[in-house]
Amino acid sequence: MSYLQVEKWQPFIAIFLITFFLIWESFVPFLKQPKERITHGAKNIILAIINAIIIGVLFSGITLIVANYTEENNFGFVHLFNLSELQYSILAFIIMDMWNYTWHRINHGTSFLWRFHKMHHSDPNMNVTTSVRLHFGEIIISSALRLVVIFLVGIPIWVLIFYDTTLLICTIFHHSNIQLPGKVDKLIRTLIVSPNMHKVHHSRIKIETDSNYSSFLTIWDRIFGSFMLIDDYSKIEFGLDNYDGEEKQSLIGLIKTPLSK
């Protein structure tokens, strides 16, 4: 199955997983569900559809071209070493995940990029649909820079397929408002990002927002000193100050978020 074929299936994977966790959230939520849950989720899904169209139109074809070029010409960092196909695939996967950590942290530390990324953080009712609540400006910038990473590192196309699918599943999972036993969440976050760990990242308290940047593997937060846990996750307040109003949380308001100071 080709990259483009897998990419066409990813929206269906996302729909299945979001539906699954929405049902889970309905019966065993971690935090109380807001009254406007349906309209809240609908706005986030509409934003996701916009982003899917943008990625499909602007970046799918060129991503395939760049990845195939690096593979056919043995170009990129991973090809500098005498590694087996499995070894350089694993290395490429790890580098992709480290890049996502780095990019996420840059989004928080750069005022221009934060203008776009803060739309994701302005959600006062984080649930599974928050996982796909991203501004199209952030999508365009991140997708363009990812092409450079793919080219310089030499990411094989099958690694992109596997990584993108893995990241999609993990992102939907750790944004979900699901109830997990504390010991289970602790076990999960020894390797990958867990729901409780990511809840801290969506806190209104800046020192907590500026932590837990990892997207998949938690090792990056541990290595670079941004790993944080708190005592009581049930007391976390999601969102951003000054972005709670009905106007700011409307679909048009969300799209206009980068224009606000």
Tokens 């309905």: give the residue.
26
Provide the residue ranges of all domains of the chain, joining segments of one domain with +.
Answer: 3-235
Q: Who's near 181: CB < 8 A, 6+ residues apart?
A: none
- Per-residue pLDDT of the chain (261 residues), as tens digits, is 555 556 667 778 889 999 999 999 999 999 987 778 899 999 999 999 999 999 989 998 999 999 999 989 999 999 898 899 899 999 999 999 999 999 999 999 999 999 999 999 999 999 999 999 999 999 999 999 999 999 999 999 999 999 999 999 999 999 999 999 999 999 999 999 999 999 999 999 999 999 999 999 999 999 999 999 999 999 999 999 999 999 999 999 999 999 987
Angle between helix 37-58 and 136-153 (nearest 10) = 40
CA 234 vs. chain centroid, Å, equals 22
The reported pTM is: 0.94
CA triple 5-11-16, angle to 5 deg: 120
